[in-house]
Amino acid sequence: MVKNKNYKTKQINIDTYFRVKNHKVEKVKAHDKNVHVKPQLSKKDLDKIKKGKARDLVKNEKGIFPAYKKLTMQTPRSKKNMTVELYNCDEEYLKTVKKVMAIHPANHSVSMFLQMKDEADLAMYCHPLLAKDSTRDFVLSYIQKYKYPFVMITRDENIEKLFEENGVPTKWRRWCTRVFKIEPTRLFYKTFIPSGVIEMQGIQKEQSKERGEMNPNRIEDPKSQKRYKIYRELPVFYETEEENMEEMKKAKIKPIKDSVRSFNRYGCFLCPFAGQQYYKDLKKNDLKTYENCQKLMKCGSKKTQKQYYYYRKSKIM
């Protein structure tokens, strides 16, 4: 339970609570009738809980919360909407959050979640429009295994229009990272969580030379601003892929299936760090996704009528 002077709880006796399993809400008997219930629940809601007629709720180590809640936030200048999906938590709980795990489908991220879930207060995933629905389903599957407080953020925009406006993302101009990760994350923090939040990331030294030179200790994150501070930690920085797999094996979590990517290349099917061989394999193993990449490439090339390049010596398509 999060201890905070502004976050008090009281106890009531209930016979049932609700949980999410395989994307379905189930009614489950409570093992302990003295369950912590948040005080913002009205008397009417408490009566419904006692009678077993409550709205979909879930019980976890932090308390009892709505199993699912959908919100919308808007960028202050461009007025772009983003969908915020809350699982196993609510807005009042977010006000108490101090440590957030930034997670995604990769093995090193799953390993970090398994090791740090007791220390952190919340898990967060920014679902990019360039990723398949299977990636969000996989993240949800290992989160719901523990009924952990979780937030999923998705930008409400047309991906083809974004490519027309910004072109195809390259290693030197990664607007996709800004649009799908940096901006949504910072806006979410500033909207729901007090300044000083600590973001845990699953980056590991062995992933690349650039990442190997990063500071794993707590430092101010590049997303931080003058009046709103965000800090970063890399808790699994020195661990290896073998150790990631061992953690997942102990938790009985199988890696996400992806026949054309390696362990640190999960997520977006069109990526500026994917080389020519990746797209050859994609065409062979997943023609539909390959054709989607080709379609987006054309959308991003309309203004100049030139095919964009990811690397100077190799075309994407």
Residue range 39-52, pLDDT digits in tens: 334 556 555 544 44
Same domain, 244 and 116: yes
Indicate if 18 and 43 belong to the same structural domain: yes
Q: Are strands 24-29 and 16-21 parallel, antiparallel or unpaired?
A: antiparallel
- Range(s) of the domain holding residue 42: 10-64
Q: Give the end of a domain, one of 46, 64, 82.
A: 64
Q: Rounded to whole angstroms, how far apart are CA atoms 160 and 71?
A: 24
Domain identity same for 179 and 76: yes
Residue range 296-310, pLDDT digits in tens: 988 888 764 444 433
Least confident segment among 58-72, 153-167, 185-199: 58-72
What is the rounded distance in angstroms from the CA atom of residue 236 to the CA atom of residue 243?
10
Mean pLDDT is lowest, of 89-98, 126-135, 164-173, for 164-173
Q: Is residue 130 domain-shared with residue 246, that is, in the same domain?
A: yes
Residue 119: other Cβ atoms inside 10 A: 11
Same domain, 95 and 131: yes
Question: Which region among 138-147, 250-259, 288-297 has the lowest average model confidence (pLDDT)?
Answer: 250-259
Per-state percent for the chain, helix, strand, coil, to nearest 5: 30, 25, 45
The model's pLDDT over 62-106, given as tens digits with 9 standing for 90+, comes to: 777 778 888 999 888 778 899 999 999 989 899 999 999 999 998
pLDDT at position 316 is: 30
Q: What are phi and psi of 298, to 5 degrees?
A: -70, -40
Q: Quick one: 55 and 80 in the same domain?
A: no
DSSP class of residue 195? S
pLDDT of residue 26 exceeding 50: no
SS3 33: coil
What's the pLDDT band for 169 if we cut at 50, 70, 90? confident
Mean pLDDT score across all residues of the chain: 78
Confidence of residue 115 (pLDDT cuts 50, 70, 90): very high
Helix, strand or coil for residue 101?
A: strand
Q: Domain check: are 119 and 196 in the same one?
A: yes
For residue 112, being part of any structural domain is answered with yes
pLDDT at 11: 34
Decide if pLDDT at 116 tops 90.
Answer: yes
Higher pLDDT, 33 or 194: 194
More confident residue, 289 or 151: 151
Give one word for 293, left, alpha or beta, with left for phi > 0 and alpha for psi -120 to 50. alpha
Residues 215 and 150 in one domain: yes
Please give the pLDDT value at position 311.
Answer: 33
Instruction: Give the three-state DSSP class for 84.
Output: strand
Predicted pLDDT at 21: 39
Interval 190-198 mean pLDDT: 94
Q: Of the spans 45-59, 60-74, 143-157, which averages the highest pLDDT?
A: 143-157
- Report the predicted TM-score, pTM, of the whole model to 2 decimal places: 0.76
pLDDT at 47: 57
Same domain, 93 and 193: yes
Total domain count for the chain? 3
136, 162: one domain: yes
Residue 14 and residue 151 share a domain: no
Neighbours of 90 (CB within 10 A): 17
* In a shared domain, residues 229 and 127: yes
Q: What is the mean pLDDT of residues 274-283?
A: 84
Strand ranges in the chain using DSSP code E only, listed in sequence order: 10-13, 16-21, 24-29, 34-37, 57-60, 63-66, 68-74, 81-87, 99-102, 122-127, 150-155, 197-201, 219-220, 230-233, 309-311, 314-315
Distance CA 262, CA 54 (A): 44
d(CA 174, CA 142): 29
Above 70 in pLDDT, residue 148?
yes
For the CA atoms of the chain, what is the radius of gyration?
21
Q: What is the rounded distance in angstroms from the CA atom of residue 273 to the CA atom of residue 275?
A: 6
Does residue 230 sit within a domain?
yes
Dihedrals phi, psi of 230, to nearest 5 degrees: -130, 130
Is the Cβ–Cβ distance between 73 and 191 less than 8 Å?
yes
Q: Is 310 helix (H, G, I), strand (E, B) or coil?
A: strand
Identify the residue whose tokens are 């979640």: 113
